[in-house]
Structure 1
């Protein structure tokens, strides 16, 4: 073993021991014994940092200790694990397992109407990734903390179905899309077009079916609750209280989940959530179902609006585009921003909350790999890619020579950066 590898192993092993020790002591101090580590954003700062360091050290140790010759074996296992999760989600196995308690394979197969032997095979592979658990020598199936959360959260269920029935078949067609349309940047020449045999853009496709619209909106809401995309990062990326009772226009805001998060944290801000009319109708209903305090809901209103029409709300404090521009090629992204310009007043800002691709290896691999994954997902669905800071600067220059990037910030543990634009 060369000295460099030896040094790396010692360094990462030491980091695992140190970080795991801090987290373990924190868990012992809690009144309730959690079944899984709390959400990153709810942890004390020192413990949150230790969690991020533990994740990075653990994944580096995994890669350093794997035999290079086993790469295809491990990739095959990963593929079959994904197939197992898709199978379990498709047949809604998580919904038939009791939230508290167990069920036999025989009864579970009967309820889900799937072969028992195949059910065992898929479940037992999923269990190696802590998805579901088996109890006792008789082979009773119960939830793990992960599958219990999946079964108990409707938005995660939507996301699971979206992953199983949309993301998976789309990714499988990426090679065919490249072979069919080399170097294309057209919105309707994508892996998604091939996977679902349609000729419009991805957003045209989902807008034609209300069920698809709801599934996508709720999937995006679920994504925003995960550690790396949690809306709390946005709350901490700017001094929102400095805006007083200003208006935040949440452009393409879907279910309004981002505005709700900001409204809960900053009680004076007011919000206008804009999206396609069919999305707005569903979002209003979803907001009512959440039974939020009146102090929050009275400060949020919804408005039907297209990104490609002039912004109707004039003089807002902030025009927020959270994970919107990355869905569009440069020309369309420029037009979306130009449509906001006439609405700006001297103190108005445009906030872009999106990925800013880093230099390779400049950030923890646990975060970079998610950014690179999103980069390819965009290509497969919309023929776009995530952007570097240089790319964002080029777009802003095309919009107007009076528009400038004032500030770029990425909250620790977040995948998204906040890019603040102002006119000069």
Structure 2
């Protein structure tokens, strides 16, 4: 069987299997004309693992059948897709069309709400419609598809127009992350080649010498840049955008995997750089026999006190949870921790800086202390796992050829996020091998990895070296 036939068979058999399961249970898999809803989202979430090899095969079939010249020329212009999506968010199109209903709306009427050029808006909508984000139902008349409805803010157009800066608040966050990627992050991406070819910045591990600084013409690290008065729109967008990257089942990665219930009564869990303590909230509500400390910068901890008083009153007051200001690069003052916990922290720092705060934790650890890193892992795209086979959970089952080894990774945004982290702060997503090197340099070793289905992050369980 040729690779083309094999890929087509993966698609055909996979689709038949999903359809058969849906039919047996009395529902249909959502099609592009079915807008997002909790019910239809739940169906897609349930079948995400089964859909992954089908989607990966479709991507690979397109690459196989395409002539290199038009394929690469098109790829070189893909940047206009995120830019177009950012414009769509800025002109509130998904919510305008949500109110218009199934018949859709003429571009003149869509453009009238925000007083933009209707012809140019129509061209952008038509581009996105080629990828099934919007549908042109009549000349210059567009309506939402399932994909475009994912950007809806859940507010009336009147509400959005009255408070455009707060339009992302209370939403899923998808529109905010789409806007961030299509606007601020595009400036960073456009400066990546120049930054990497520079003999100084191309090798720098400093968060102030990344493509972000060149693209935004600043010397400030991105988080400080966010707090400048002229960047209030981005600052409003950013926390909502982070919510947009949160998986619907993200609590699973906190509660499952590591055997929290087996920790002795009163064991201390330290959530390092834990923000306002959302991770600890999940743990504390389930594992009440443990004690917890959330550490972060003073301003964040101040906000955390208000957050806990509102969401989980009594936990702080009774001493079950302590909220304490601490710079993770300073010596760690807690010396009796059973668990040091880091979620989405290592990918924010280059090896130079990650080694520093991991070493601080190693210095404060007791012989039985464990370090749990909850973060993404970049899969190698080859099938050779010999370098990591000795670590339980490190190697994943590979998909059959001709598919790339790990379809769930190839169709996700992990590798794109790695490029984004490089551009933003000279930091990175890491492979298992890169985690091994980083941890060894700071006195830790990987004991095992608790795996979760993509796009969930993974649990890396570490012990003292």
> If the TM-score is normalised by the length of the shorter chain, which range does it land in?
0.7 to 0.9
TM-score w.r.t. length of structure 2: 0.75
Structure 2 segments unaligned to the other structure (5+ residues): 155-170, 384-404
Corresponding residue of 2:179: 161
Tell me how far apart the structure 1 counterparts of residues 243 and 136 of structure 2 sit (CA, whole Å): 31
Specify which of 446, 454, 457 is matched with residue 405 of structure 1.
Answer: 446
SS of residue matched to 1:350: strand
Specify which of 417, 423, 437 is matched with residue 380 of structure 1.
Answer: 423
Tell me how far apart the structure 2 counterparts of residues 140 and 390 of structure 1 sit (CA, whole Å): 48
Worse overlay, 347-356 or 131-140 = 131-140
Specify which of 186, 190, 205 is matched with residue 172 of structure 1.
Answer: 190
Worse overlay, 93-102 or 336-345 = 93-102
Tell me how far apart the structure 1 counterparts of residues 252 and 316 of structure 2 sit (CA, whole Å): 18
> Does 1:193 find its partner at 2:193?
no
> Does 1:364 find its partner at 2:406?
yes
Worse overlay, 23-32 or 6-15 = 23-32
Tell me how far apart the structure 2 counterparts of residues 140 and 374 of structure 1 sit (CA, whole Å): 31
Corresponding residue of 2:41: 38
Tell me how far apart the structure 1 counterparts of residues 339 and 44 of structure 2 sit (CA, whole Å): 24
Is the contact made by 2:85 and 2:179 (CA closer than 8 Å) also made in structure 1?
A: no
Post-superposition CA distance 1:74-120 (Å, at most 9, x none): 32563332221122123343454445735543332122121111111
Alignment of 1:2-401 (within 5 A): 3-22=1-20, 24-25=22-23, 28-29=26-27, 35=35, 37-39=40-42, 43=46, 47-76=47-76, 78-98=78-98, 101=101, 103-134=105-136, 139=141, 141-142=143-144, 144=146, 146-152=148-154, 153=171, 155-180=173-198, 181-206=201-226, 208=228, 211=232, 215-225=237-247, 230-243=250-263, 246-263=267-284, 266=287, 271-282=292-303, 292=311, 302-362=323-383, 363-368=405-410, 370-400=413-443
Tell me how far apart the structure 2 counterparts of residues 309 and 301 of structure 1 sit (CA, whole Å): 19
Post-superposition CA distance 1:169-195 (Å, at most 9, x none): 111111121233333333222110011
Is the contact made by 1:132 and 1:143 (CA closer than 8 Å) also made in structure 2?
A: yes
Tell me how far apart the structure 2 counterparts of residues 79 and 68 of structure 1 sit (CA, whole Å): 18
Count of equivalent residues: 413
Is the contact made by 2:377 and 2:457 (CA closer than 8 Å) also made in structure 1?
A: yes
SS of residue matched to 1:38: helix
Tell me how far apart the structure 1 counterparts of residues 288 and 99 of structure 2 sit (CA, whole Å): 36
Post-superposition CA distance 1:355-385 (Å, at most 9, x none): 3333224442441463322222221112233
Is the contact made by 2:7 and 2:57 (CA closer than 8 Å) also made in structure 1?
A: no
TM-score w.r.t. length of structure 1: 0.81
CA RMSD of aligned residues (A): 3.7
In structure 2, do the counterparts of structure 1 residues 27 and 127 end up closer, same or farther at CA, with 3 Å as the change threshold? Answer: farther
Is the contact made by 1:251 and 1:274 (CA closer than 8 Å) also made in structure 2?
A: yes
Corresponding residue of 1:422: 463
In structure 2, do the counterparts of structure 1 residues 154 and 52 end up closer, same or farther at CA, with 3 Å as the change threshold? Answer: closer
Tell me how far apart the structure 1 counterparts of residues 416 and 371 of structure 2 sit (CA, whole Å): 26
SS of residue matched to 1:356: coil
Corresponding residue of 2:167: none
How far 1:129 sits from its partner (Å)? 2.9
In structure 2, do the counterparts of structure 1 residues 110 and 418 end up closer, same or farther at CA, with 3 Å as the change threshold? Answer: same
Tell me how far apart the structure 2 counterparts of residues 294 and 313 of structure 1 sit (CA, whole Å): 25
Is the contact made by 2:247 and 2:456 (CA closer than 8 Å) also made in structure 1?
A: no
Pick 1 or 2: higher relative contact order, CA cutoff 8 A, min separation 6. Answer: 2
SS of residue matched to 1:171: helix
Tell me how far apart the structure 1 counterparts of residues 180 and 91 of structure 2 sit (CA, whole Å): 13
SS of residue matched to 2:447: strand
Is the contact made by 2:107 and 2:142 (CA closer than 8 Å) also made in structure 1?
A: yes
Is the contact made by 1:12 and 1:57 (CA closer than 8 Å) also made in structure 2?
A: yes
Q: 1 or 2, which has the higher helix percentage?
A: 1
Post-superposition CA distance 1:37-84 (Å, at most 9, x none): 5358962xxx45323333333323333333334213432563332221
Structure 1 segments unaligned to the other structure (5+ residues): none
Is the contact made by 1:232 and 1:261 (CA closer than 8 Å) also made in structure 2?
A: no
Is the contact made by 2:98 and 2:149 (CA closer than 8 Å) also made in structure 1?
A: no
